[in-house]
Amino acid sequence: MSRNGRAEVLERIADLVAENKEKLAALETEDTGKPLSVSRNVDVSRVEENFRYFAAKLRVQENSCSSLKPGRLL
């Protein structure tokens, strides 16, 4: 799958997280005991943001490696 294809998958996951924010927040609250507002506004929002962030990174990433030390690549 191409980088753009993977980015589209990540964006779709982010969309699904956004569409199901209340359900996911309720599950997180039940699982962890956090206040619902924290689960909704911090945890679930962060999940959505992370998927969108990495989708964007895939779209702009170049085909290159960075050298950390001689003989090691990132």
What are the structure tokens assigned to 27, written together? 């599950």
pLDDT, residue 70, reads 72
pTM for this prediction: 0.78
Task: Please give the full DSSP string across 51-69, using - where no structure is assigned.
Answer: HHHHHHHHHH--S---EEE
The rounded average pLDDT for each run of 10 residues, N- to C-terminus, in the chain (74 residues) is 94 98 98 97 98 95 65 64
